[in-house]
Amino acid sequence: MTKDLTAPGASGNPSGNPSDVTAVVAQQPDYTRYFSDQAGHVWLNTAHQGPMPEAAVRAAVGAAHEKATPYRIPDAAFTERPEELRALLADFVGGRPDEIVLGDSTSHGLNLIAYGLPMRAGDEVLCVEGDYPATVLPWLAQRQRGAGVRFVRRDRHGRLDPERVRRALAPRTRVLAVTWVDSFTGAAADLRALGEICHTAGVLLVVNGSQAVGARPVDVAATPVDALVSCGYKWMCGPYGTGFAWLSPALTELLDPRRVYWLAQQRGRGLEHMRSYTIENRGVRGLDVFCPADFLDTAAWTSAVGLLGGLGVHNIHAHGQRLVQRLLDAVDPELYEVVGPQEPEERSGLVVLAGRRGPVDGAVSALAAAGVHVAVREGNIRLSPHLFNTGEHIDRALEVLNSPDD
């Protein structure tokens, strides 16, 4: 049974308007109310995918019903709905709508940058050794254009030392491509320090924020990055097949779209002028994924971003970090090593545990048997609590983790 949480008065949020949610949260920071009952399961795996809020589920159902009765979908919806999402995403990261590319994944945004950036033979991209493949592969593919890729190392806790990056930059380095929060350790890169180093050296900083955006506040207007790309289906709690890229206007200007979408070209001309074959620079809208209206996904994601934005990313971050602290405080240090950094400014919503007494298979099976869902990455256990989790969820995980399986 699902609760109707946007019904007036049902959640203590009388208007159902996400911006009013902030007041509700101040009284009672219970985010579980916005999500479906998990039937006794504990989902500690947002780093893999986040659950869609109930309001987003209803939005998707509404969009499906519209498609069943297409006379209800006005032509204007094909542009208005993507624009509504674009504006919400811009607000969410502190940018402007004209800086947001709508995507279907992280890879959409990273590929359009890697393939769209003019490169000359001998140009170079600096990547991070052991980084997530989505952040590295689009640049490796540029070797066909003669561009080289070099790697800089993290330390064993996943920290990326800005000084090491500075030393690794070379005169032909055009781009530093990094993942903000590392999937394998949970270490968070210092975007400000990296950005300042890059910009002093005339290097673009392209950031994969998929393990951060939605859980970690960011203000792109005040952070020296050139691109921040994210999927929508993890910490942003959107449906699968969603993503976006924030691009600085200067970077957008540099990019060759490499493809052309008739509907993006149609914008501003109206559907009466379809056979005008002129191709114009449409800025970010010319870089959008094709069919950006994608009503079902767009409706659900718009709803999720609106909810999270209304709740406030600072509040969501504080809640997540309280849960992370509870986990770090109580996990048995004789049984597990916390792989990533534990200092608040260097850690994230991902806690990665290595077994001190050998492989973690026993603990993973016991967690699964107890209905506690985590990920195993590179032989380590990864727990990633988010806004819908509670202290009790962490305690259920701890109870299993701290009981050796002998």
Ligand X SMILES: Cc1ncc(COP(=O)(O)O)c(C=O)c1O
> Is 245 within 8 Å of 227 (Cβ atoms)?
yes
CB of residue 37 vs ligand X: minimum separation in angstroms?
A: 26
CB of residue 143 vs ligand X: minimum separation in angstroms?
A: 20
Residue 6 binding ligand X, by CB under 6 A = no
Q: Give the x-and-dash track for 120-149 against ligand X (CB under 6 A).
A: ------------x-x---------------
Residue 252 binding ligand X, by CB under 6 A = no
Handedness of CA 283, 288, 294, 298 (dihedral sign): negative
Residue nearest to ligand X (CB): 107
Residue 107 binding ligand X, by CB under 6 A = yes
Task: Report the residue number, 142 or 210, with the smaller CB distance to ligand X.
Answer: 210
Q: Which residue in 399, 363, 318, 373 sits closest to 44, CA to CA?
A: 373
What is the DSSP secondary structure assignment for residue 144, as one 8-state letter? G
Residue 45 binding ligand X, by CB under 6 A = no
CB of residue 56 vs ligand X: minimum separation in angstroms?
A: 18
> Is 299 within 8 Å of 239 (Cβ atoms)?
no
Residues 32, 89: Cα–Cα separation, whole Å: 23
Written as one string, the DSSP assignment of 307-343 is HHHHH-HHHHHHHHHHHHHHHHHHS-TTTEEE-S--S
Q: Which residue in 310, 217, 214 sits closest to 21, CA to CA?
A: 310
Q: Give the x-and-dash track for 366-405 against ligand X (CB under 6 A).
A: ----------------------------------------
Q: Which residue in 202, 213, 150 sits closest to 180, CA to CA?
A: 213
> Is 224 within 8 Å of 206 (Cβ atoms)?
no
**Per the structure block, which two tokens stand in for 168?**
């690794």
CB of residue 346 vs ligand X: minimum separation in angstroms?
A: 17
* Residues present in the chain in total: 406
Which of 179, 302, 321, 348: binder of ligand X (CB under 6 A)?
A: 179
Residues numbered 216 to 245 that lie near ligand X (CB under 6 A) are 231, 243
Residue 348 binding ligand X, by CB under 6 A = no
Which of 11, 183, 265, 389: binder of ligand X (CB under 6 A)?
A: 183
Contacting residues toward ligand X, per CB under 6 A? 105-107, 132, 134, 179, 183, 208, 210-211, 231, 243
